[in-house]
Amino acid sequence: IEASGERSVAVGGDVAGSIFTGDIYFTGRPPAYHAPFQAPPFPAYFVPRPEVSGPLKAQLLGDGGCPSGALVVSAVHGLGGIGKSTLVAALAREKEVLERFPDGILWATLGQQPDVLSLLAGWIQALGDYDFRPTTPEAASAHLRTLLHGKAVLLVVDDAWDPEHVRPFLAGGDRCRAVVTTREALIAQAVGATLYDLDVMTPEQALGLLGGRLGRPLEGREREEAQRLARAAGYLPLALELAAAQVADGVPWAELLEDLTAETARLEALELPGAEEAADEATRKRLSLKASFHLSLRRLPPERRADFAWLGVLPEDAPLTPAMMATVWKTGERTARDTLRYLWGKALLLPGVSLPDGTPTFRMHDLLHDLARRLLTGPEAPAREGDLPGLGFPLPEAHRKLLARYRLRTREGLWHTLPDDGYIHARLTWHMEGAGQEEEIHALLREETEEGRNGWYEARERLGQTAGYLADVERAWRLADLAPSPAAGAGEFYALIAASLNSLAGKIPPALLAALVEKEVWSPPQGLAYARQVPEAGQRAKALAALSPHLPEPLREEALREALDAARKIWNERSRAQALAGLAPHLPEPLLREALDA
- pLDDT, tens only, 392-449: 999 999 999 999 999 999 999 999 999 999 999 999 999 999 999 999 999 999 999 9
Confidence grade of residue 72 (pLDDT, cut at 50, 70, 90)? confident
pLDDT surpasses 90 at 163: yes
SS (H, E, C) 525-541: HHHHHHHHCCCCHHHHH
pTM over cut 0.85: no
Region 487-503 average pLDDT: 62
* Measured distance CA(273)–CA(282) in Å, rounded: 17
- Angle 524-532/553-568 helices, nearest 10 degrees? 10
Q: Within 13 Å and on the Cβ side, how many CA atoms surround 115?
A: 14
263 Cβ partners below 8 Å, 6+ apart?
Answer: 291, 294, 295, 386
pLDDT at 586: 85
Confidence grade of residue 513 (pLDDT, cut at 50, 70, 90)? confident
Sheet containing 194-197: order of strands: 105-109, 154-160, 177-182, 72-77, 194-197
Name the DSSP class of 312. Answer: G
Q: Over the stretch 282-294, which tens digit does the pLDDT of each residue have?
A: 777 888 888 999 9
- Of residues 573 and 199, the one with the higher pLDDT is 199
Q: Which of 418, 381, 422, 424 is nearest to 399 (CA)?
A: 424
436 Cβ partners below 8 Å, 6+ apart?
Answer: 396, 399
Confidence grade of residue 135 (pLDDT, cut at 50, 70, 90)? low
Average pLDDT value for the chain: 84
Residue type, 356: P
pLDDT at 579: 84
Q: Over the stretch 461-472, which tens digit does the pLDDT of each residue have?
A: 888 777 678 778
Q: Are 173 and 69 in contact (CB under 8 A)?
A: yes
Question: Do the bridges between strand 350-351 and strand 105-109 make them parallel or antiparallel, or are there none, so unpaired?
Answer: unpaired
Q: Are 252 and 246 in contact (CB under 8 A)?
A: no
Region 564-592 average pLDDT: 83
* Measured distance CA(445)–CA(471) in Å, rounded: 12
* Measured distance CA(30)–CA(8) in Å, rounded: 9
Backbone dihedral angles phi then psi of residue 180, each to the nearest 5 degrees: -115, 135
Residue type, 19: I
248: number of Cβ within 10 Å: 15
Q: How far is CA 27 from the centre of its chain?
A: 13
pLDDT surpasses 80 at 65: no
pLDDT surpasses 90 at 57: yes
Q: Are 359 and 322 in contact (CB under 8 A)?
A: yes
Backbone dihedral angles phi then psi of residue 27, each to the nearest 5 degrees: -140, 165
Q: Over the stretch 8-50, which tens digit does the pLDDT of each residue have?
A: 323 333 333 333 333 334 555 676 677 889 898 888 888 999 9
- Of residues 40 and 156, the one with the higher pLDDT is 156
Q: Which of 570, 239, 35 is nearest to 581 (CA)?
A: 570
Confidence grade of residue 495 (pLDDT, cut at 50, 70, 90)? low
Q: Which of 156, 16, 30 is nearest to 84 (CA)?
A: 156
- 106: three-class secondary structure by DSSP: strand
Region 87-91 average pLDDT: 94
Confidence grade of residue 53 (pLDDT, cut at 50, 70, 90)? very high
pLDDT surpasses 50 at 546: yes
pLDDT surpasses 50 at 275: no
Confidence grade of residue 131 (pLDDT, cut at 50, 70, 90)? low
- Of residues 585 and 24, the one with the higher pLDDT is 585
